[in-house]
Amino acid sequence: MDNIPMSAPDISRIEQQTLSRVLQTRHLSLGPYLEQFEQAVAAYTGSRYAIAVNSGTSGLHLAVIAAGVTSGDWVITSPFSFIASANCVMYERAVPVFVDVEAATGNLDPALVAEAACDLTRGGAAAQHWLPRSLKQSSNGQPKSNIQNLKSILPVHAFGQPAEMAPLLATAQQHRLAVIEDACEAIGADYRGHRAGSLGDAAVFAFYPNKQLTTGEGGLIVTDRADWADLFRSLRNQGRDVFNAWLSHTRLGYNYRLDEMSAALGLAQMQRIDELLAKRARVAGWYDERLAGLDWVERPFIAASTSRMSWFVYVIRLKAPLLRDTVMQQLAGRGIPSRPYFTPIHLQPFYQQQFGYQRGDFPVTEHLGDVSLALPFSGVMTADQVDRVCTVLTEVAQSQAVRRPVFSAGH
Ligand SMILES: Cc1ncc(COP(=O)(O)O)c(C=O)c1O
């Protein structure tokens, strides 16, 4: 039997032909494919500007810079995410201030964010509650005099489902905070009829090969703000002023450029974006059918505000007393890969060392981190492969249930 991969890109002849055309040109960087790819994504998300970069992480870093986040500032974000959505804040020596998520979706809890934003803008004792342990009493944890430390909210559209953006945007407006959407997992998702990526001041997509659309490595920022777009183009290109000569560097910049091969791959994938997303939705539908009615598993929850899910991963939750890690090991033993996705960011060793986080700090995130299991998923998965995963998963779950007799329907 063939191995079922955890994920796989969906590459057709269109991508192969487009890539071979690039190799026949003299432009392998900053050429016409980059521009065409950017225009295609801008049109798709309904954004004025799109700036491609070499990873989602690079894009988030540049968005954080554009939001004016500097040393000691605070950015409200989610601990239930991939580590890059917090690291991008750390790159500017600022502090990701985590706020717990909603149990149903795993996205930022807007009521908690509203509370946190109020307290953090007030500063002093009220702010302390939300700050990481290691900053609570230190001078670093105190607001700079007369300067508001809280600069931005960085919601993550986890697993391809938009965060509850309306109340988050209202909070941001109330406190004059920039909103950076981490849409790295959510190209093509819609929130109340609006495209993910079109809601904040800037949004970032990522195109690693497990994503809905891939460029190999790569990412892209969308924004409606002309000043930010110019800044992004300069920052990704060693701080060269967009209107200036190649040898003039007007600010501290980076080499975050996306090469032409990657851009061409992205352009070809953009031509197939509806097909790519539809194929993934079909695979998610097969999983939903096969797992329906099983009382030991919770299937992905789609919020009423999600007018279109963009399936990045298929993440189930295992109900007690099933042990996620044991299930994962037993699946692996039978040739089925799976991942504990996400591991909460605040419990990552680096974040624990840096900020003194402990278990118990973000209970909803931690619970999700304990019970969530990403199953093999891609647009090229077949119905037979989904069947095999679900059959083995059910056998593993039942064998655990026999060994742990408290298991019964209704748990
Ligand atoms: C939520 C989230 N943010 C950021 C990133 C970073 O993207 P990249 O791996 O392209 O740097 C990812 C990628 O997996 C992600 O899932």
Nearest CA to ligand 1 atom 1: 82
C-beta separation of 235 from 73 below 8 A: no
Same domain for 157 and 72: yes
Same domain for 300 and 267: no
Q: Is 81 in the pocket of ligand 1 (CB under 6 A)?
A: yes
pLDDT digits (tens, 9 = 90+) for 335-344: 999 999 999 9
C-beta separation of 337 from 394 below 8 A: no
Of the candidates 275, 278, 240, the residue with the CA atom closest to the CA atom of residue 257: 240
C-beta separation of 16 from 272 below 8 A: no
d(CA 376, CA 283): 10
What is the pairing mode between strands 219-223 and 202-206? Answer: antiparallel
Same domain for 140 and 25: yes
pLDDT digits (tens, 9 = 90+) for 182-197: 999 999 999 999 999 9
Same domain for 281 and 200: no
Boundary of a domain, candidates 271, 299, 324: 271
Residue 145 has pLDDT above 50, yes or no: no
Q: Coil, strand or helix: which one is 379?
A: coil
Same domain for 310 and 277: yes
Question: Is 325 buried (19+), middle (13-18) or exposed (0-12) by CB count in 10 A?
Answer: exposed
Contacts of 249 (CB under 8 A, 6+ apart): 238, 239, 240, 241
Q: Which atom of ligand 1 is nearest the CA belonging to 312?
A: 16
C-beta separation of 344 from 366 below 8 A: yes
pLDDT for 408 equals 46
Q: Which atom of ligand 1 is nearest the CA belonging to 58?
A: 11
Residue 1 in any domain: the answer is no
Of the pLDDT bands very low, low, confident and very high (cuts 50, 70, 90), residue 138 is low
Of the pLDDT bands very low, low, confident and very high (cuts 50, 70, 90), residue 2 is confident
Question: Is 118 buried (19+), middle (13-18) or exposed (0-12) by CB count in 10 A?
Answer: middle
Return phi, psi of residue 156, to 5°: -110, 130
**Half-sphere exposure of residue 410, counting CA atoms within 13 Å on the CB side?**
2
State the chain's mean pLDDT as an integer. Answer: 94
Taking the centre of ligand 1 as the mean of its atom positions, its distance from the CA of residue 144, in whole angstroms, is: 31
pLDDT for 26 equals 86
Taking the centre of ligand 1 as the mean of its atom positions, its distance from the CA of residue 56, in whole angstroms, is: 5
Poorest-confidence range of 87-91, 186-190, 238-242, 390-394? Answer: 238-242
d(CA 113, CA 129): 13
Same domain for 382 and 360: yes
- Which DSSP string corresponds to 345-376? GGGSHHHHHHH---TTSSHHHHHHHHHEEEEP
Q: Is 57 in the pocket of ligand 1 (CB under 6 A)?
A: yes
Tell me which residue has tokens 């019964």. Answer: 408
Boundary of a domain, candidates 226, 242, 271: 271
**Ligand 1 pocket test target in 61, 185, 214 with most atoms within 8 Å of CB:** 185
Contacts of 159 (CB under 8 A, 6+ apart): 106, 185, 300, 312, 313, 315
pLDDT for 146 equals 46
Residue 34 in any domain: the answer is yes
Same domain for 56 and 186: yes
Taking the centre of ligand 1 as the mean of its atom positions, its distance from the CA of residue 216, in whole angstroms, is: 13
Q: Is 345 in the pocket of ligand 1 (CB under 6 A)?
A: no
pTM above 0.85, yes or no: yes
Nearest CA to ligand 1 atom 9: 56
Give the structural domain span for 383.
273-403
Q: Which atom of ligand 1 is nearest the CA belonging to 55?
A: 10
Residue 60 in any domain: the answer is yes
Taking the centre of ligand 1 as the mean of its atom positions, its distance from the CA of residue 113, in whole angstroms, is: 22
Of the candidates 215, 197, 234, the residue with the CA atom closest to the CA atom of residue 37: 215
Q: Is 184 in the pocket of ligand 1 (CB under 6 A)?
A: yes
Q: Is 55 in the pocket of ligand 1 (CB under 6 A)?
A: yes
Of the pLDDT bands very low, low, confident and very high (cuts 50, 70, 90), residue 124 is confident
pLDDT for 405 equals 52
Taking the centre of ligand 1 as the mean of its atom positions, its distance from the CA of residue 85, in whole angstroms, is: 7
**Ligand 1 pocket test target in 75, 80, 82 with most atoms within 8 Å of CB:** 82
